[in-house]
Amino acid sequence: MEKLFTSTDHSLQQSQELITGSEVLLRGLLREGVECVFGYPGGNVLYIYDAMVGNPDFKHILTRHEQGAIHAADGYARSTGKVGVCIATSGPGATNLVTGIATAYMDSVPLVVITGNVPTTVMGTDAFQEADIISITMSITKHSYLVRDIHDLPRIIHEAFHIANTGRKGPVLIDIPKDVSNQTMLFQPSNPINLRGYNGTPSPNQAEVDELIQAIAESERPVIIAGGGVVYSNASNELLEFVNKTKIPVTTTLLGLGGFPSAHDLWLGMPGHHGTYTANMAIQNADLIISIGSRFDDRVTMKVDGFAPCAKRIAHIDIDPAEIGKNIKTDIACIGDIKAVLKYANTKALPSQSSSWIHKIHENKAMYPLRYKDSETELKPQYVLEMINETTRGDAIITTDVGQHQMWVAQFYKFKHPRSLLTSGGLGTMGFGFPSAIGAQVGNPDRLVISVNGDGGMQMCAQEMAICAINHIPVKIVVINNQVLGMVKQQQQIIHENRFSHIDLAGSPDFVKLAEAYGIKGLRASNKADASRIWQEALNIPGPVLVEFVVPKKENVYPMVLPGTTLDQMIMGDFE
């Protein structure tokens, strides 16, 4: 991929210059190291967009929908570990960001979201395109600012980035009224941050970690549940060292995939609703559960009062004290940045008494692998994901939308590295997959980025193909087309006894022609031979490509744990 943006010296003149609030904003973003902003202009951010004219240092990508902008910023943040930035105008522009803000909030993704607002002189009068976005997003932002005075803007920008990217990370919103963006001030960089009462990254309590180390030494059947916090704290190497020293098997949640190498002998796969037999049975029979950066989400625990019934102790390592004991009673709490906690733990870690336990786990892995009934006449979606895994050797950045294809990616793509799977875990946002891949590609211009989508979710964001074509962003767009809302269909089939209601996606566009209409190469396959050939063709094309794989609508995701049941009550599908 040709690098979109050249690196820029962000050192800016400190001389006293009279500049507008819009110029203060752009300078502040550059000072924070922002490489690219994703956005969509409108009336109340016109001064901000005017300030971009003739500013070669400031890079902006015009998406085709505000939701595309925030999902792209989200993908950029998840894949790079930096703060993603997006901008939209007031009213409908701001409210179109709400789903993306909630998506980032649920998954602890650092974003700075900039919205315009009506002038302060008419705020509260139901002025044209006025919406109280601060109140609307109060429960889904880590913090928010309404800028009423231009002199506060340099400080607010600096604080917003600090808050977004420290502690438990998350989105911060900056709402700028139109008149404030046009006020002038003598520019002066912000002072060092001093936020009273904000301790973003608490230091680990060594006594708590020592208690965990002692519990491991006494354990015979320990299991680690590693979540997204391992990835976000850049603690993958520390986790690997910890596992190698303690000999504890590891299951990685959906957001934790890639945080521990899938090829490791002690990796169990993903746990929970569509988790592996080995992972779920290990949790149910463990005498010690150690959650590391995982919040005991309901899709992992399933029936809470039947979760890990054999566990004598449950430990939880997390940076957010609010998560301790929230869903599952915790016996040992280690509060702090996971990287710091594990670094200290590794100075004292000793092997657990787990040799017999590991032998049993290896037996389960051999007896109950992930399986599906392959076909020589139909193209199975699991086969497609295995093919993608084999051709990329697990080294690509994969983004997904939400649904069956998301679970097949989690099951059949073997992630080697952290920040290689970008998916909406907590909110389950359809429309996330493709725009997030655009952000990931912008942030990782030299990596192969593949966006795997269902035919439903793809139609929620297809318009963003325009910016791939215009900006030569070489995302490989995969559409797993089964002409149905697959995950809804599966639940209606199994839980609602085949009472299917409004899931038929027949009549969707020809995705190949749609891609070509946007100026992107389109390819299609419906059998194994064509699938292998056209996928290789797609990989050989230097620019963006859409590949549609036509698969049978009857295919389901297994194993499956039904709501209200425990992890050991798995439906195994064709291999019951």
Catalytic residues: 66, 128-129, 178, 487
Extended beta strands in 504-543, E state: 521-525
> For tokens 């989105």, what's the residue?
171
What is the greatest pairwise CA distance in the chain? 73
What is the 8-class DSSP label of residue 309?
T
Rounded-to-integer distance, Cα 418 and Cα 235, Å = 9
Rounded-to-integer distance, Cα 3 and Cα 441, Å = 10
Contact between residue 436 and residue 402 where contact means Cβ atoms under 8 Å apart = no
Contact between residue 401 and residue 433 where contact means Cβ atoms under 8 Å apart = yes
CB count, 10 Å around CB of 87?
30
CB count, 10 Å around CB of 541?
13
- Tokens, residue 433: 């997959």
The bridge status of strand 18-20 relative to strand 184-186 is antiparallel
Query: Distances in Å between the alpha carbon of 97 and those of 112, 133, 399, 427, 471?
Result: 12, 10, 20, 14, 23
Rounded-to-integer distance, Cα 325 and Cα 317, Å = 11
3-state secondary structure at position 539: helix
- By CB atoms closer than 10 A (0-12, 13-18, 19+), residue 7 is exposed
> For tokens 């797609």, what's the residue?
538
Closest CA to 114 of 144, 152, 87, 90: 87
Angle at 502 between CA 464 and CA 430, to 5 degrees: 30
Instruction: Return the C-alpha torsion angle 49, 50, 52, 55, nearest 10.
Output: 180
Type of residue numbered 245? K
> For tokens 């569509």, what's the residue?
274
Rounded-to-integer distance, Cα 147 and Cα 125, Å = 18
Alpha helices, DSSP H only, in 325-432? 338-346, 355-367, 381-392, 404-412
Distance of CA 71 to the CA centre of its chain: 9
Closest CA to 344 of 336, 352, 355: 336
